[in-house]
Each structure stands twice: as C-alpha cells, then as structure tokens.
C-alpha cells in the first residue's frame, strides 16, 4: 500500500532505537562507575559530582524516552499490519460481490452493505494509523532534541 511504511521496516527501526536506549543506559553506568572511582575531594569535586549525577539522570531519562519511542513504533507497525489485513479482506469481499452479481444476485445488496461497513472501518483504521505515525514522529523529534540538549548541542 503506497504511503504506509513496511511494518517489518518499522520493527527494525524500533530495534535500532531500543539498541540506542541500551547504549545510553550503558553510558550512564560507565559514567557513574568512573565518577565513583575518583579519589578527588573538595568543593570542585562536589560540584563535578553533582553535574555528573545530573548527566547520569538525564541519560536515564533519555533511555526511557528512547524505549517509549521504540514501543510506539512497534505498536504503529502492528496497526499498519492490521490495516493491510483489512485491505486484503476487502479485496476478497469485492470478489465475493462479483460472485454474487453473477451467481447469487439476491445476496448482492446485503454483501454490498457489509463491504461498505468494512470499508468505513478500514478508513477509520487508516486515519488512526496516520495519527499514530504523526505522534511517533513527534516523539522521535523530542527524543533527538533531548539527546542534543544532554550533550550540549541543543
């Protein structure tokens, strides 16, 4: 279906984002371990420790947002899969209408009504999928902005 991404591609992208979340958590752990291992004492060390803790906390929050983005992409991929299934079912229903028109004219009107109901459902699902996609992109932009701010580029 043109315009909608492949659910497998979205799942792969979600896996990459989840990998970045894991790497971000690992960076927070490494930083915490390095700070804890220092023997530096005094006011400057205390100030540095406070800044390091803020950075570690920010890394943890960024990792959680990345996890949320990956989960949202996976949910979006499932919704697109359902939409694709609905569209395929509509195609089968259309063949059924052709069969009714040729061989069972009495069934044509009831089947056409069901097909119309299914079509309305597919359109509704499509609108929800597009809305979800917009939210996923917005969340992704927010995560990137947070990450850039965390490393001092935002």
Which is nearest to 55 in space by CA: 154, 153, 151?
A: 151
Res 60: pLDDT? 93
pLDDT of 110 above 50:
yes
Residue 108 CA: distances (Å) to CA of 5, 86, 88, 117: 34, 20, 20, 14
Other beta carbons within 10 Å of 136: 21
pLDDT of 1 above 50:
no
pLDDT in tens, 74-86: 988 888 888 777 7
Size of the chain, expressed as the number of residues it contains = 154
Give the Cα separation of 56 and 30 in Å (integer): 9
pLDDT of 28 above 80:
yes
Residue 87 CA: distances (Å) to CA of 83, 116, 119: 6, 12, 8
Domain ranges of the chain: 7-150
CA quadruple 123, 124, 127, 128: dihedral sign: negative
Can you give the pTM of this predicted structure?
A: 0.58
pLDDT in tens, 32-46: 999 999 888 999 999
Give the mean model confidence (pLDDT) for residues 47-66: 91
């Amino acid at each position: 279906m043109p315009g909608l991404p492949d659910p497998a591609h979205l799942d792969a992208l979600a896996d990459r984002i989840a990998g970045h979340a894991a790497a971000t958590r690992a960076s927070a752990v490494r930083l915490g371990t390095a700070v804890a291992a220092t023997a530096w004492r005094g006011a400057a060390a205390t100030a540095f420790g406070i800044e390091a803790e803020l950075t570690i906390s920010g890394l943890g929050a960024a990792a959680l947002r990345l996890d949320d983005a990956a989960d949202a992409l996976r949910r979006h991929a499932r919704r697109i899969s359902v939409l694709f299934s609905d569209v395929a079912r509509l195609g089968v229903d259309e063949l059924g209408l052709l069969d009714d028109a040729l061989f069972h004219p009495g069934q044509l009107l009831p089947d056409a009504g069901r097909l119309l109901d299914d079509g309305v459902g597919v359109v509704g699902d499509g609108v929800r999928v597009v809305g979800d996609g917009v939210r996923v992109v917005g969340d992704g932009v927010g995560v990137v902005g947070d990450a850039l701010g965390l490393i001092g580029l935002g």
